[in-house]
Amino acid sequence: MMCTKRQILLLSSSKVHGFEFLEYAAQDINDLLNQNKVSSVLFIPYALSNHDDYQSRVEKPFKHWGYKIIGIHTQEHPVHAVEQAEAIFVGGGNTFRLLKKLYDLNLVKAIRKRILEDGIPYIGASAGTNVATRSINTTNDMPIVYPPSFEALKLIPFNINPHYLDTDLDSKHKGETREERILQYQEEEDASTVLGLREGSSLYIQGNSAILKGIHKARLFVKSKQPIEIEVGTDVSYLLKE
């Protein structure tokens, strides 16, 4: 998968214990936007129901950093807004709700073209990270609505599990662990690799290069292999060749 123009930052979450909203990723966000001389960011709030409130929350850090936030929900023609965007930020919430809205408004192909062909920056957090991947099969969210497909933007050729949680060996909870659920997904014939991003970890993709960033390690699930730990700073560009 040769996509030399893509510039993508995928965050496990926008909220991390001990940090303000998006604070842990501030340097990476600013580096990405500054190197592209971005002045305004198109914000896609569809993962939550109260779009205006969500935009207000997102505007606070971005305004502090010197960027104007444009809520796509305030635009008369969403596809045109994507076509004119300097950069796109897709926030977290419910992944099924988000993806359904992207399909309903014919935004899937429009966003994909802007990122993979035109090379504008894409920043995703949680659900916004899920929809950037091959499919939303490894989201943690409940299917509160039904999108026409689980296939997502396919900006990268594998899946991510945001908010990845390690097994608590002292817990008395007997339900399935996150690792067990991911391994169950990989029992399916068409399952892909899954990168489990713990809160505070992120993936930075530039062209055909990918590096784990943030403040915590990630856990990598390759089908038919034992899961492994990925240290911050590790080059995982090989995942883009899947």
For the record, the structure tokens of 23 come out as: 């604070």
The torsion region of residue 36 among left (phi > 0), alpha (psi -120 to 50) and beta comes to: alpha
Catalytic residue chosen out of the listed positions 135, 141, 201, 202:
141
Question: Among residues of the chain, what percentage have pLDDT more than 70?
Answer: 96
Quote the pLDDT of residue 1. Answer: 54
126 a catalytic residue: yes
Which one of the listed residues 28, 40, 163, 216 is annotated catalytic? 163
β-pairing verdict for 218-221 and 228-230: antiparallel
Over residues 214-236, the pLDDT tens digits come to 999 999 999 999 999 999 999 99
Domains of the chain: 7-241 (3.40.50.880)
* Phi and psi at residue 201, to the nearest 5°: -110, 155
Q: Look at residue 122 and tell me whether its pLDDT is greater than 90.
A: yes
As a whole number, the mean pLDDT across the chain is 95
pTM above 0.85, yes or no: yes
Count other Cβ atoms within 10 Å, centred on residue 39: 11
> Of residues 13, 126, 201, 202, which has the active-site annotation?
126
Specify burial of residue 228 (Cβ count, 10 A radius: 0-12, 13-18, 19+).
Answer: exposed
Closest by CA to 151, choosing from 185, 103, 210, is 103
pLDDT in tens, 48-68: 999 999 999 999 999 999 999
| pLDDT band of 82, cuts 50, 70, 90 | very high
Confidence (pLDDT) at 166: 84
Task: Count CB-CB contacts under 10 A for residue 94.
Answer: 21
* Least confident piece of the model among 1-15, 41-55, 208-222: 1-15
- Strands (E) across the chain are located at 7-11, 40-44, 68-71, 88-90, 121-125, 159-161, 194-197, 201-206, 209-214, 218-221, 228-230
